[in-house]
Amino acid sequence: MQTNSQEYWQALRTIKAIAQKCGDEGDRIFEAFEYASALHKDQKRKSGEPYITHPVSVAEIIAREFEILDVTLLCAALLHDTVEDVPHVDLSDLRKRFGQAVADFVDGCTKIGLGHDGNSVYMTHSKILKSASRRLGVLIIKLADRLHNLRTLHYLSSAKRQKIATETLDIYAPLAAKLNIYHLKRELYNLSLMYLYPRKSKKILNHINQISNDPKIVEIRSTLEEALRKLGISAQVRSRCKGLGSYYNAQRKTLEVHNAENYVDFTIVVSSEDELLCYEALGIVNRTYPPLPRTIRDFIASPKANGYRSLHARFHHAGQNYLVKIRTPSMDTWAQYGILRRWREDKEFFREEHDDEIAEFLREIAEYQGPSTHRKELLRYTEGEEIAVYTPKGDLYFLPKESTVLDFAYRIHTQLGDHCRGGLIDGKKVSPVYPLYDGATVEILTTTEVLDVDPEYETICKTLRARAGVQKLIQRRRRFYAEKIGREIFQQIITLLGLKAENANFESMELILKKTGSKSETDLYVKLGQDVLGPEEVRRIVSEIISVERGGFLRFQSRQLAVTIGQIDRAVHKFAYCCKPYPGEDNCMALLSERGVTIHKGECTDAVTRHSIPPDRLFRVDWLLDDPWDSPIVFRITVPGVSLGRLLAKWPDTSEYEVIELAQKLDRYGHASALCLARMKSLRDAKNFFDALTRDFNVSIETYFREKSMNGDRP
């Protein structure tokens, strides 16, 4: 970048103004600016401006708009793209020149360089959030970075604009809401939605403009001011129209006028820090405009997890609903600036240790291993409507609307969630996935056994902690089953090499573990059972080691390896949609993965042609037909293209099942399909039922579940 260019001098003036506000430490900001300018000197933005204008703008947003004058954070903001965009610079260079804290901030902001696929983006978000759980400044820099990118988004291609705007809606705007930075959240939503829905945004902005000039708003504000004045309460009354974000339904991906719960909020800020004045003001508001039933919320006595405090009341007037928020001046400052306010008061507050609730949330969302869609959904829930739920002792917890008993159990303690078998609400026993209502008192019922979770629980639960807990329990089950399968496969390999299966634990096992990169025998079996290690690779390693030990070549009998299946578990066993096999069907094969076992018909070519699975990784299924099931299993079955009457005419005449439900549905062309919910007690019962049914019809298993895992009342 030419130091005599207009852009350079403008950037320098900005840095000078920031440095002056930082006092004696301002020289460090000049040093960071000069260093970043030199590194970015040959780079330009899509607008044609020198690249250094971007990090300077990020630092300016932090200093002027966020009002944070932390020199370390501002230096990191100026340097946040250096490691990512300048090949010859690494973190050690920054550490030597600017210190460990600056290097840590920059490291947290640096993308993982694995390309531009979905997985690398997911991992980058995980890294940012994990770093922010230790140093919140990482997230502050990323939010300022995203805000400036959105303000200059018009220079990019349409595809990139769509991508950045979508990512902002899914990740950054909800995070700004979680930190309670109101003005930032509002602008992130407004800018993103205007790029994603330009026509609808224009229409809704016109709607917002009309509302802001509505005489009814002036009338309500004046009425509230007069009512407060008459009873001697000095307060400021403000009205505020909702931004575009309130009109956006993230679940349906729609931007519509009717999506907003209400169009205008009123804020009453009493003149002193006396909290009792807020309650007096609430009484006056309720007498002036009677509240809607069950809408008064006391966030002063019970603050939100992010520190937000106010009294809320909703009322209906002249055909519209309105929300009134009542607070003290300090509460009002927090409501607008959130976590930034505490940073201003104490620069060191978020340097090493910060609010446990925020840190734990960021760490949990970073470590969550579910699909990216689930992570986005969980972030969305954090800013949605909440319900208040009580323990029998009267302890209050806030949860996202439609949370379940299991969400509540995990919110109290992880162990309580792991052992939850249901709840007691108003003397009624309910299942772990029973939805809670606002004001409910819930007693968690536990068992000594670990919860037998169904995979469906993960999508039913609304909180991060519950979903992560369910996911860990499912992964534990899958790992346990993978170890069992891997042990079987290993023993078959040993047998086919002419060795005795009971001699699998021979002295050379340590060498086998080393060659396969396994920490223990259990680790080796799990890798085999999850197809991380292929049987052919293990056979070759074992053969080489034993051949050297015995001084001779081991002959391997070529035979397809098998896995045995008796108990079936939806968290582990999946019946492939391509060929639609069923439990106990003859001539089936299995594919192994970290997500469990997928069963195909033996003649199915999908695994080989589409997924290029080598023959040694296709396993014969040996069904253990005489092993009883621990509990009955309910199958949801579809018989496509068949009417209910035709199905009943050839219904299997056996007593080995119980029909729970029979129904018929029509597609949009009027073609009928029969639906069935049937309960079976053993694998042999299931085989006999499906053998008989598939003689005349094509049958598809939509899903199945163990009956005991779904007991109690369900939504």
Q: Which residue is catalytic, options 84, 256, 265, 544?
A: 84
- pLDDT above 90: percentage of residues in the chain: 65
Question: Which pLDDT belongs to residue 547?
Answer: 75
Q: Find out whether 629 and 681 touch, Cβ atoms under 8 Å.
A: yes
Tokens of 170: 């899914």
Distance CA 342, CA 350 (A): 9
Confidence of residue 709 (pLDDT cuts 50, 70, 90): very low
Q: Is 101 left (phi over 0), alpha (psi -120 to 50) or beta?
A: alpha
Taking a C-beta distance cutoff of 8 angstroms, is the pair 260, 247 a contact?
Answer: yes
- Which range among 36-50, 229-243, 459-473, 655-669 shows the weakest confidence by mean pLDDT? 655-669
**How far apart, in whole angstroms, are the C-alpha atoms of residue 545 and residue 551?**
10
- Beta strands (DSSP E) in 401-523 are 420-425, 428-430, 442-446
Indicate where the chain has its CATH 3.30.460.10 domain(s).
Answer: 199-337
Q: What is the DSSP string of 47-70?
A: TSSBTTHHHHHHHHIIIIIS----
Residue 283: partners with Cβ closer than 8 Å, 6 or more residues away:
none
pLDDT digits 0-9 by tens, 625-680: 988 898 899 999 999 988 888 888 888 776 678 889 999 888 778 888 999 999 99
pLDDT band at 558 (very low <50, low <70, confident <90, very high): low
Contact 35/96 with Cβ under 8 angstroms? Answer: no
pLDDT band (50, 70, 90) for residue 4: low
| Residue 672, pLDDT score | 87
Confidence of residue 431 (pLDDT cuts 50, 70, 90): very high
pLDDT score of 395 more than 60: yes
* pLDDT at residue 18 tops 80: yes
How far apart are the C-alpha atoms of 460 and 463, rounded to whole Å? 9
CB 423 within 8 A of CB 442: yes
Q: 199-205: long-range contacts (C-beta < 8 A, 24 or more apart)?
A: 200/255, 200/256, 201/244, 201/255, 203/257, 204/244, 204/247, 204/255, 204/257, 205/244
Residue 369, pLDDT > 90, answer no
Q: What is the pLDDT confidence band of residue 714, given thresholds at 50, 70 and 90? A: very low
Just give the CATH number of 625-715: 3.30.70.60
**Taking residues 395-406, what's their average pLDDT?**
92
Q: Which of 178, 125, 120 is nearest to 359 (CA)?
A: 178
Residue 494 has what pLDDT? 87
pLDDT recorded at residue 115: 52
Q: Are 592 and 619 in contact (CB under 8 A)?
A: yes
Q: Which pLDDT value is given to residue 182?
A: 92
For residue 348, the model assigns a pLDDT of 47
**Region(s) of the chain under CATH 1.10.3210.10:** 6-181
Tell how far CA 226 is from the center of its chain.
47
Higher pLDDT, 411 or 357: 411
Q: What is the DSSP string of 540-572?
A: HHHHHHHHHHHTSPPP------EEEE-S--TTT
Q: What percent of the chain has pLDDT over 70?
A: 92
Model confidence band, residue 122 (pLDDT cutoffs 50, 70, 90): confident
- pLDDT, tens digit (0-9, with 9 covering 90-100), for 460-473: 999 999 999 999 99
Residue 548 has pLDDT above 80, yes or no: no
pLDDT band at 700 (very low <50, low <70, confident <90, very high): very high
At residue 236, does pLDDT exceed 80?
yes
In the chain, residues under CATH classification 3.30.70.60 are 625-715
Give the model's pLDDT for residue 119. Answer: 75
Looking at 25, 34, 65, 85, which residue is catalytic?
85
Work out whether strand 628-639 and strand 573-575 pair parallel, antiparallel, or are unpaired.
unpaired
Regarding the domain delimited by 199-337, which CATH topology (the fold level of the hierarchy) does it fall under?
Beta Polymerase; domain 2 (3.30.460)
The Cα 51–Cα 473 span in angstroms is 48
Q: For 299-353, what is each residue's pLDDT tens digit?
A: 999 888 778 899 999 999 999 999 999 999 999 999 998 888 776 665 544 443 3
Band (423; pLDDT cuts 50, 70, 90): very high
Let me know if 145 is a catalytic residue.
no
State the pTM of this model.
Answer: 0.83
Reference 526, options 455, 454, 592; nearest CA is 592
Q: Find the angle CA(705)-CA(710)-CA(712) to the nearest 5 degrees.
A: 160
pLDDT at residue 427, rounded to an integer: 84
Confidence of residue 152 (pLDDT cuts 50, 70, 90): very high
**What per-residue confidence (pLDDT) applies to 245?**
95
| Dihedral of the alpha carbons of 158, 160, 164, 165, in degrees to the nearest 10 | 10
Our CA dihedral for 168, 174, 179, 180, rounded to 10 degrees, sits at 110
Q: Phi and psi at residue 296, in whole multiples of 5°?
A: -80, 125
Pick among 3.40.50.300, 1.20.1600.10, 3.90.470.20, 3.10.20.30: CATH of 357-470: 3.10.20.30
Per-residue model confidence (pLDDT) at position 553? 57
Known catalytic residue: 84? yes
* Average pLDDT over all residues of the chain: 89
Q: What is the DSSP string of 127-152?
A: HHHHHHHH-THHHHHHHHHHHHHHHT
pLDDT number for residue 555: 63
Integer Cα distance of 707 and 631 in angstroms: 7
Residue 117 has pLDDT above 70, yes or no: no
Q: How confident is the model at residue 39 (pLDDT cuts 50, 70, 90)?
A: very high
pLDDT at 445 over 60: yes
User: CA-to-CA distance for 160 and 28, rounded, in angstroms?
Assistant: 35
Rounded average pLDDT over 140-166: 95
Q: What is the pLDDT of residues 257-305, one digit of tens each?
A: 999 999 999 999 999 999 999 999 999 999 999 999 988 999 999 888 7
Amino acid 352: pLDDT: 37
For the domain covering 6-181, report its CATH number.
Answer: 1.10.3210.10
Other residues' Cβ atoms within 10 Å of the Cβ of residue 703: 14
- Residue intervals of the chain classified under CATH 3.10.20.30 are 357-470
Whole-angstrom Cα distance, residue 239 to residue 323? 10
